[in-house]
A and B are shown apart, each in its own frame.
Chain A
């Protein structure tokens, strides 16, 4: 057990080191923009100011040394300083985290919560009207970009419920939840298709397996077959796409945030890319990679929680 976890951990550390190096060196070696021009903003810069900035951001050091300084900083909780705002990156990210985190978690819960029952229903009623309606719906949702769906939602809300806060800040936990509801629904709908399809396919295959006939021969009611035996087996492929789905959610959040004028990490990332604010860009991307790895670790854990065969293999 411990060995397999250590192996996994080593793999994750390798990926993190590789990704962080890749991002850092690519940005610092290839980017067309000179960081100094971003830092001093181009207005009235004296050689002295430039020299100070160079020192402050370690730009006078060779790139590999800058990388080491960056990594060392991260290990000590210092994710660097923004070129544009001259403030610590971590602080800015954390202040925007509730929006993005809420959006991603809320939308994930909503979309999985809707996709699994709908997928099961669709599989059980295969080729019947209910299945067709769900299939067409998921087909259309797969083709709607998240920003368009959000836009439609903003449009509909401003016509139907003008008092709903589609822009601006929020107050208190209730206000936060209320404000986040619409973007979460939009994002959940935009990203529901894959989970739904995988659930449906898994369920259809599961219901065809020989042991299902056995469960039926035992006289167990249909609900037992579907929700106890079928679903638990069908959920396994859903877990395998979990980390990919989280990634899709994060990117979707970037698009949804901008439409609902939420200032989250996503829009921060895009603004920083446009402004060539590299410390922010590399910090956010590294953080997202960490989130992916956490998600795939969680998926791994869920696997062995559900499937005794995987537990047995790991135990060896």
Chain B
């Protein structure tokens, strides 16, 4: 059961039309999510994490967005290419097979309908059941994510919920049709620390008990370390490094990943200031030759600015910066050689 592929993104490019031309939000992302695993996508804001998630469900305005590449989904009745799916089939996939919890819980619900109504509307549509059963199911789901009493809460409006409750209600809504993949876009960002822990707990429970796969998008490495099994690090619309949590934390290759990890606050870290990455991410409205991170990279060479980088890989662990990997193994060798000599 483990390690069976559920979703594979293959060279995805998402271009958005803006007044000044195309904005290359996603520039060739490839990743794979297996059944029953939590995959984290980490990166600064504006690096294309959310856009990747939206592209998987094709939630961008159709006539202002162009996709390249492919997204393969292993449905029960065979493989499906999401980017080529007709609208009708897309709607059957959304929510029922792949669901998405969006960033801002306050904005997840229509303010004019009760939370229960909005949950049951989805259940009724996908499972073709009556309104009454839908409401009962909604109440049950609310209790599942720790909102009590479900029946009363279901009849309340979004403005009567707190932010943390809304986020959990949004998760309840999105898992109502037992999707096989849940995309959680910064589910903890808008919440305080205790709420964060609760939401992560729920996600973990979904994975363990319902065997749901989760694509967790976050800018917080701490969250990744806590619940993910594998990670993709994104920068400027590309995955720059990917591997198991273990590999990434113990042995980060890409200079960007290393900088990010050095920037994690540590318990008892003392008064030493946290390291920040100088400079700003590049603007994605033009083509970037070479490595997008080069201008901010401490070890960049001249060729980094112009040539595309070689890819380094070692089993499940791969990185877009072969140079850094080589330099590192070189240093290790020297160290070993030094010790031997």
Contact = CB atoms under 8 A, between A and B. Distances in A.
Determine whether A and B are in direct contact in the complex, meaning some CB atoms lie less than 8 angstroms apart: yes
Interface of A: 209-211, 213-221, 224, 228-229, 232-233, 306-309, 312
Interface stretch (B88-96, B286-294, B329-337): B88-96
B121 A213 contact: no
Contact of B159 (A221, A306, A309): A309
B227 to A, nearest CB: 22
B242 interface: no
A224 to B, nearest CB: 7
B173 A218 contact: yes
Given A219-B93, A219-B96, A220-B125, A214 B157 contact: no
Given A229-B110, A233-B110, A308-B112, A217 B159 contact: no
Which 10 A-B pairs give the minimum distances between C-beta atoms?
Answer: A219-B95, A219-B94, A210-B107, A308-B157, A218-B95, A217-B100, A218-B122, A219-B91, A229-B110, A214-B108
Contacts of A309: 111, 157, 159
Given A218-B94, A218-B95, A232 B112 contact: yes
Contact of A214 (B92, B159, B160, B170): B170
Contacts of B244: none
B73 interface: no
Interface string B99-116: 110111001111111100
B296 interface: no
B57 interface: yes
The size class of the interface chain B forms with chain A is: 20 to 34
B59 A217 contact: yes
A232 B160 CA distance: 19
Nearest to B88: A221
Given A217-B95, A218-B94, A233-B110, A224 B121 contact: yes
B8 interface: no
Contacts of A229: 110, 112-113
Interface in B257-287: none
A160 B173 CA distance: 58
B193 to A, nearest CB: 24
B126 interface: yes
Contacts of B102: 210, 213-214, 217
Contacts, number: 80
B59 to A, nearest CB: 5
Contact of A216 (B94, B121, B160): B94
Contacts of B99: 217-218
Contacts of A214: 102, 107-109, 170
Most buried by B among A209, A220, A221, A232: A220
Contact of A312 (B93, B95, B104, B159): B159
9 contacts: A214-B170, A218-B125, A218-B174, A219-B122, A220-B95, A229-B113, A306-B112, A309-B111, A309-B157
Contacts of B122: 218-220
Nearest to A208: B61
A92 B92 CA distance: 64
A191 B99 CA distance: 44
Contact of B107 (A211, A219, A221, A306): A211
Given A210-B104, A233-B110, A312-B159, A217 B170 contact: no
Given A224-B121, A309-B159, A219 B112 contact: no
Contact of B108 (A211, A232, A308): A211
A185 B126 CA distance: 43
Contacts of A211: 107-111
A228 B113 CA distance: 10
Contact of A219 (B109, B110, B125, B170): B125
Nearest to A128: B63
A71 to B, nearest CB: 43
Contacts of B107: 209-211, 214
Contacts of B160: 312
B27 to A, nearest CB: 22
Nearest to B119: A218
Interface string B34-63: 000000000000000000001001010000
Interface in B116-168: 121-122, 125-126, 157, 159-160
Contacts of A213: 54, 59, 102
Contacts of B112: 229, 232-233, 306-308
Nearest to A206: B110
Given A211-B109, A312-B160, 4 more contacts: A214-B102, A218-B122, A224-B121, A309-B111
B219 to A, nearest CB: 18
B110 A215 contact: yes
A309 B103 CA distance: 23
Nearest to A210: B107
Contacts of A232: 110, 112-113
A217 B110 contact: no
Contacts of A216: 59, 94
A311 to B, nearest CB: 9
Nearest to B93: A219
A215 B108 CA distance: 8
B283 to A, nearest CB: 23
